[in-house]
Chains A and B, each alone.
Chain A
Amino acid sequence: DAGVIQSPRHEVTEMGQEVTLRCKPISGHDYLFWYRQTMMRGLELLIYFNNNVPIDDSGMPEDRFSAKMPNASFSTLKIQPSEPRDSAVYFCASSWGSGGGGDTQYFGPGTRLTVL
């Protein structure tokens, strides 16, 4: 299995531009998670899906952020318009189960976003 695939691995953009991050989860996993990691705030859960349906988006920082999962093998996280404070590493993870039953989350390599 190729694991969780994220693209792009690095993104540099200017303030005000739209940014789209992509994720392909491991086949058969029913949960998908988007995280953001910064030095200041650590690892934050932004949103997660179960069977392509958003379950909890309370971590999405503001309306500039949106996430979709049109099918079981693809998800996007979009930032529009982007701001310098959005600079971070964004991780996608997938799993069978949400975590309570000892379910392991598998993380992608991350997308390093820099907003100038």
Chain B
Amino acid sequence: GNSVTQMEGPVTLSEEAFLTINCTYTATGYPSLFWYVQYPGEGLQLLLKATKADDKGSNKGFEATYRKETTSFHLEKGSVQVSDSAVYFCALGTSGSRLTFGEGTQLTVNP
């Protein structure tokens, strides 16, 4: 079956620090991969996605590359801001199935 394993949180960084949140997956078939973000008091929203191997998704300074050889989709940002404080979810979807989410990683960025 499909599964997603995320780096455990919480993660606390200072503003302008480099961010990596690890995500690895197990899937049957050829999944699409996603990062969703949940800001305090809100629902999840799509941050970025990639639908095939070697694709790079990017948005708001965040990037993630679909690595089939390592079954990974790590989220990175070169310089985080206080406003990036949120919970980040890695997810995957395969044809005909619903999304499988990881456990979520809480990020706090201090000024």
Which residues from chain A sit less than 8 Å from chain B, CB to CB? 4, 31, 33, 42-43, 45, 48, 56, 91, 93, 98-110
Contacts and interface: CB of A to CB of B under 8 A. Distances in A.
Contacts of B22: none
Given A45-B98, A98-B97, A99-B93, A104 B103 contact: no
Main SS class of interface, B: loop
Q: What is the interface residue range for chain B against chain A?
A: 20 to 34
Contacts of B93: 98-103
Given A91-B44, A99-B32, A99-B93, A105 B99 contact: yes
Given A56-B98, A100-B93, A107 B51 contact: no
23 contacts: A31-B98, A43-B89, A43-B101, A91-B44, A93-B44, A98-B96, A98-B99, A99-B32, A99-B94, A100-B29, A100-B32, A100-B93, A101-B93, A102-B49, A102-B51, A102-B93, A103-B93, A104-B46, A104-B49, A106-B45, A106-B46, A108-B43, A110-B43
